């Protein structure tokens, strides 16, 4: 098989996909119905929550009632005596003696590990605790100490019904030793602050320090015409995903079956196997539909990903029955993905023409937070950058990727740029264009890089801004801050922000393509369907490449067969994974054409091929029909060509199967693998000066996706992200009782997820410059919008009221205070 | 708080679900959602918030959309319940319209939206955009698919109207 001839990309993470055809029949076409759509809309789609097996037991894990406490003694006798309770797993049971939550030593990571050659960016990282201690930071599967309210600790109960399991928990007698707790990262750093997790660090509450430095910021500040300082904060918010977490494990003798609500379920399987000493070929993994994930379901060190498998597994082993461990909605608020509380101090130097000369950022974050310099590094020509990052331990659950780990990065870039534009009285779009670049280099350098590596050379940001300005009527509507009062009495504001498009083309994936004897195809790979339309888009690619009808291709990702895809149905849905499906499809098509032209000779009979007088190169496939290129009227349906393949009686052909593995660099952004595409956002708000309430009237998204395989899917990510981003900007926040650390709004009534009424209009524009690193020149879109939109809303609020809020979420009380401040400054709003 | 198992004994109840009669013995504290989803295996009626906040468990009871997580099953004696599974059986165009309009992403909340939309179309076969927003604004979708629902409901309404002619 000549891979070059087939146009199968060699693994070269800096090169543009040069084997991209000019015309497509399925890829990029509108009007392709969603393949999972009827199943989902008709209520037939099965989620882990829906899985019920004969004899299944229900498991509940004890959530700690305290934000920080130790179990002094625990009696489970009453719980065990309750009729219908089949097993109680205790934290001090021998099976749990060596079960830290962190186990995949070779794991990919997103910067949460110290510099082991895998860290996200090249900073100088320093752990305040040992690596071993740091790994314990997520706790053990079941522990005798709780580090946050709701921390799964003490015991897990398996019973005949959910109610019995719940009741049994209430019968567990625990004598707790309450310990002092801290919720705010700044408090955790105060001299004499109590230790929030002495088991990890017995000296202080610092987990990690990181310093990233480019150039010389002091020199940059000296070169500046003006230097400003300001502060920002992003308070913690949470995923509040649709499907409450659950899993099912059935342990039978030497074999285990797992049903996982997990984004990277295969990793969960590996960890389960490692921890339990079960060979991977003895673990059967099912991955039903996922009721949303947004990244955190991929974390291999969180309780809700592999911790629950271990608990379900041990209880199943003890009882010989399938066990479903399930969280209720409140548990989901306790333990699932969330973003850390993050305090930021900015110092920015710039010239009068808008050129930024230096940015210094000091971040202090809660446990497993994220720092905010990367986008300034990867996306601008700013030569001098300095980040000091301090990660503290506090008594809330660890933060983890929630669409996505770059939330704070995007917000920091927005704040820096919008503050500079305001200080200069400049149009913020011009400030962006002035500083567009990459890793301290200007656009000329980037153009040269693009040309060297075979990419088109287009001005992604310039094009995006032009589209956006027109779509929102920027030239007419943008105005001086705090100067426009609408006839309805509201204050009108316009905002703009930008950053690079998500280039999450990194990591590895593999997939197989198998054709059955009726000519239909299955794509084989473990991929969790979180809603990115992976089923349709990968089927579009395979059908396009093989010349098949779309309905003849299916993506069988619910059963894991050893292949796994990168961030399954997450960041790398197409940017990495589609290389595999595309390459496998091309090989499979070649095999099909060989089938069509190769006779099968047995002793007494020869089976002629469909095209006995031709070579594979004479043929092509379209609409599931193999035809002669020279005379398309001579054709044979694909099903006829392969009818003798894989039959177990009378079969004369090997299965038509091809598979492909692809690697896009290492996992983690590599220096020098420049981000080429851009995204821009415009926003229009109305602020009620009486209540501080903000109405989002319009958000315009312009995303350079390189190439849209499914435009409707891309647009779905755009408007979907708008609602989530607006929620983050204006309302979403986890509220803790400062005295006890108990969550006060851990439900979907008090935690405000935005609804259909909360954003008026979204305008979704796709740029397709072909400058992505993925196949067909595409790159990702799913993470971008919710991540960047809070920044643009912040800028629009400033434009409306003439004062920065910079404390997210920008709730009415904060906006009102800012309005008062603006009035005091200016002697009243104009 | 979950109620205990022994709080009042089992109750016999008759309900019509998707045009089929069910005679069941239930616990008095079971919600309609639990009965539909856990006991009858009609798993399209989803649990998301379990507090009547999100609409994912919407079913139609005696012609009205209700939150089945906030309704005890014993309150439904003699009622006619319709769940999302009935839509494809009866050829309701909403299901296909939702797929065509990509009015779902992860899909977990989708059946609740579909049933809310079905109740709207039952009482107003020619809704405008505002009518649709009024009907669906109580449903939460974490993926933020909201704008796509408008097109889906309009498409289904058009098909229903066409079918009447």
Encode pLDDT of A227-250 as tens digits: 999 999 999 999 999 999 999 999
The residue of chain A with its CA nearest to that of B139 is A755
Higher per-residue confidence, A586 vs A825: A586
The residue of chain A with its CA nearest to that of B88 is A42
pLDDT digits (tens, 9 = 90+) for A305-325: 778 999 999 999 999 999 999
pLDDT at A112: 39
As given in the structure block, the two tokens for residue A84 are: 């219908």
Is B145 part of the contact surface with chain A (CB cutoff 8 Å)? yes
Report the distance separating Cα A620 and Cα B135, nearest Å: 51
CB contact under 8 A, B43 and A43: yes
Shortest Cα–Cα distance, B80 to chain A (Å): 19
Q: Number of residue pairs across A and B with CB atoms under 8 Å?
A: 190
What is the DSSP secondary-structure string of B13-72? EEEEETTEEEEEEE-TT-BHHHIIIIIS--TTS--SSSSSSS-TTEEEETTEEEEGGGSB
Looking at A122-131, A307-316, B42-51, B147-156, which range is the least confident one?
A122-131
Q: What are phi and psi of A666, to 5 degrees?
A: -90, 170
Contacts of A722 in chain B (CB under 8 A): 144
pLDDT at A8: 79
CB contact under 8 A, B83 and A43: yes
Tokens 């071993």 locate to A132
Residue A121 predicted with pLDDT over 60: no
Interface test with B, best of A41, A726, A732, A755 (most B CBs within 10 A): A41
CB contact under 8 A, A52 and B41: yes
Nearest to A43 among B5, B44, B54 (CB): B44
Nearest to A713 among B44, B48, B102 (CB): B102
Percent of chain A clearing pLDDT 70 (strictly above): 93
Q: Between the CA of residue A631 and those of A369, A620, A628, B28, what are the distances in Å?
A: 63, 11, 5, 73
As given in the structure block, the two tokens for residue A726 are: 């607006």
Shortest Cα–Cα distance, B104 to chain A (Å): 7
CB contact under 8 A, A39 and B107: yes
Chain-wide mean pLDDT for chain A? 91
CB contact under 8 A, A292 and B47: no
CB contact under 8 A, B56 and A242: yes
Nearest to B84 among A42, A290, A530 (CB): A42
Count of beta carbons in the 10 Å neighbourhood of residue B6:
7
B69 CB-side CA count, 13 A: 16
Contacts of B155 in chain A (CB under 8 A): none
Higher per-residue confidence, A271 vs A765: A765
A176 has which bridge partners? A71
Query: What is the pLDDT confidence band of residue A788, given thresholds at 50, 70 and 90?
Result: very high
Higher per-residue confidence, A672 vs A722: A722
Alpha helices in A288-371 (DSSP H): 308-319, 329-335
Percent of chain A clearing pLDDT 90 (strictly above): 75
Shortest Cα–Cα distance, A219 to chain B (Å): 45
Contacts of B146 in chain A (CB under 8 A): 719, 723, 755-756, 759
Query: What is the pLDDT confidence band of residue A109, given thresholds at 50, 70 and 90?
Result: very low
CB contact under 8 A, A291 and B138: no
Report the distance separating Cα A254 and Cα A269, nearest Å: 15
Shortest Cα–Cα distance, B78 to chain A (Å): 24
> Could you tell me the end-to-end alpha-carbon distance of chain A, in angstroms, rounded to an integer?
73
CB contact under 8 A, B142 and A242: yes
pLDDT digits (tens, 9 = 90+) for A539-552: 999 999 999 999 99
pLDDT digits (tens, 9 = 90+) for A709-726: 999 999 999 999 999 999
Nearest to A753 among B41, B44, B140 (CB): B140
CB contact under 8 A, A34 and B99: yes
pLDDT at A20: 75
Cβ partners under 8 Å of residue B157, min gap 6: B121, B125, B126, B127
Count of beta carbons in the 10 Å neighbourhood of residue A310:
27
As given in the structure block, the two tokens for residue A671 are: 């220096």
């Amino acid at each position: 098989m000549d891979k070059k001839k087939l146009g199968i990309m060699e693994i070269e993470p800096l090169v543009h996909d040069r084997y991209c055809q000019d015309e497509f029949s399925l890829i990029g076409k509108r009007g392709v119905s969603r393949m999972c759509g009827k199943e989902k809309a008709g209520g037939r789609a099965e989620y882990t929550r829906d899985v019920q097996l004969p004899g299944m037991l229900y498991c509940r894990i004890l959530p700690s009632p305290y934000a920080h406490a130790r179990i002094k003694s625990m009696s489970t006798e009453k719980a065990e005596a309750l009729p219908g309770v089949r097993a109680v797993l205790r934290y001090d049971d021998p099976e749990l003696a060596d079960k830290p939550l962190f186990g995949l030593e070779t794991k990919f990571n997103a910067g949460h590990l110290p510099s082991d050659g895998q860290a996200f960016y090249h900073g100088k990282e320093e752990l305040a605790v040992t690596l071993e201690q740091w790994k314990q930071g997520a706790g053990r599967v079941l522990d005798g100490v709780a580090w946050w309210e709701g921390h799964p600790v003490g015991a897990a109960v398996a019973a005949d019904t959910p109610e019995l399991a719940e009741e049994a928990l209430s019968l567990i007698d625990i004598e707790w030793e309450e310990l002092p707790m801290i919720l705010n990262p700044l408090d955790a750093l105060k001299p004499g602050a109590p230790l929030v997790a002495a088991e990890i660090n017995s000296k202080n509450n610092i987990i990690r320090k990181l310093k990233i430095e480019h150039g010389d910021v002091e020199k940059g500040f000296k070169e500046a015409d003006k230097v400003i300082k300001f502060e920002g904060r992003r308070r913690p918010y949470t995923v509040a995903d649709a499907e409450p977490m659950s899993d099912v494990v059935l342990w039978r003798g030497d074999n285990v079956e797992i049903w996982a609500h997990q984004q990277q379920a295969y990793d969960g399987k590996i960890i389960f196997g490692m921890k339990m000493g079960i060979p991977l070929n003895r673990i059967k993994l099912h991955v039903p539909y996922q009721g949303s994930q947004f990244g955190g379901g991929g974390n291999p060190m969180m309780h809700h990903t592999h911790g629950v498998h271990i608990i379900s597994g041990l209880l199943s082993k003890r009882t010989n029955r399938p066990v479903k461990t399930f969280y209720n909605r409140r548990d989901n608020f306790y333990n699932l993905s969330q973003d850390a509380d993050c305090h930021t101090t900015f110092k920015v130097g710039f010239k009068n023409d808008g050129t930024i000369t230096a940015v210094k950022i000091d971040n202090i974050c809660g446990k497993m937070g994220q720092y905010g310099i990367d986008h300034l590094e990867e996306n601008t020509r700013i030569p001098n950058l300095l980040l000091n990052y301090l990660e503290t331990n506090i008594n809330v659950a660890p933060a983890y990727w929630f669409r996505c780990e770059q939330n704070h990065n995007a917000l920091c870039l927005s704040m820096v740029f919008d503050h500079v534009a305001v200080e200069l009285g400049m149009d913020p779009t011009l400030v962006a264009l002035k500083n567009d670049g990459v890793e301290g280099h200007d656009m000329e350098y980037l153009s040269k890089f693009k040309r060297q590596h075979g990419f088109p050379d287009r001005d992604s940001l310039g094009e995006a801004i032009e589209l956006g300005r027109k779509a929102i009527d920027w030239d007419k509507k943008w105005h001086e801050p705090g100067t426009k009062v609408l006839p309805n009495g509201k204050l009108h504001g316009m905002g703009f922000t930008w950053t690079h498009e998500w280039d999450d083309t990194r990591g590895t994936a593999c997939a197989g393509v198998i054709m059955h004897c009726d000519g239909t195809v299955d794509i084989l790979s473990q991929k969790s369907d979180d809603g990115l339309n992976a089923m349709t888009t990968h089927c579009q690619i395979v059908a396009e490449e093989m010349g098949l009808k779309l309905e003849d291709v299916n993506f069988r990702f619910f059963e894991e067969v050893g292949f796994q895809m990168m961030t399954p149905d997450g960041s790398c849905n197409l940017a990495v994974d589609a290389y595999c499906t595309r390459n496998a499809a091309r090989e499979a098509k070649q095999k099909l054409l060989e089938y069509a032209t190769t006779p099968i000779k047995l002793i007494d009979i020869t089976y002629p091929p469909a095209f006995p007088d031709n070579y594979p190169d004479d043929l092509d496939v379209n609409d599931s029909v193999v035809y002669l290129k020279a005379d398309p009227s001579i054709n044979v349906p694909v099903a006829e060509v392969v009818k003798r393949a894989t039959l177990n009686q009378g079969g004369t052909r090997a299965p038509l199967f091809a598979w492909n593995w692809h690697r896009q660099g290492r996992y983690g952004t590599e220096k020098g693998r420049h981000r080429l595409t851009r995204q821009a956002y415009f926003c229009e708000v109305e602020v009620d000066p009486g209540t501080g309430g903000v109405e989002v009237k319009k958000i315009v998204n312009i995303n350079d996706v390189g190439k849209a395989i499914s435009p409707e899917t891309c647009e779905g990510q755009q408007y979907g992200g708008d609602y989530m981003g607006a929620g983050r900007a204006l309302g979403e926040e986890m509220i803790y009782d400062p005295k006890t650390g108990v969550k006060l709004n851990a439900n979907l009534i008090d935690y405000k997820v935005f609804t259909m009424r909360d954003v008026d209009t979204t305008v979704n524009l796709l740029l397709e410059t072909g400058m992505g690193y993925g196949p067909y020149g595409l790159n990702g879109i799913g993470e971008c919008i919710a991540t960047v939109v809070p920044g643009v809303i912040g800028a629009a609020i400033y434009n409306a009221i003439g004062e920065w809020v910079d404390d997210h979420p920008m709730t009415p009380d904060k906006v009102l205070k800012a309005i008062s401040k603006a009035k005091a400054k200016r002697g009243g709003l104009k | 708080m979950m109620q205990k198992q022994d709080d009042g004994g089992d109750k016999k109840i008759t309900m019509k679900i998707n045009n089929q009669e069910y005679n069941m013995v239930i616990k008095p504290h079971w919600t309609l959602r639990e009965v539909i989803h856990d006991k009858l295996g009609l798993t399209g009626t989803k649990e998301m918030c379990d507090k009547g906040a999100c609409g994912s468990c919407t079913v139609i009871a005696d012609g009205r959309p209700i939150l089945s997580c906030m309704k005890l099953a014993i309150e439904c004696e003699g009622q006619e319940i319709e769940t999302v599974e009935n839509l494809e059986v009866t050829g309701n165009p909403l299901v296909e319209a939702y797929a065509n309009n990509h009015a779902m992403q992860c899909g977990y909340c989708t059946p609740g939206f579909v049933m809310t939309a079905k109740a709207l179309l039952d009482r107003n076969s020619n809704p405008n955009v505002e009518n649709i927003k009024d009907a669906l604004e109580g449903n939460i979708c974490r993926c933020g698919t909201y704008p796509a629902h408008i097109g889906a409901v309009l498409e289904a309404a058009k098909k229903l109207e066409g079918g009447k002619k």
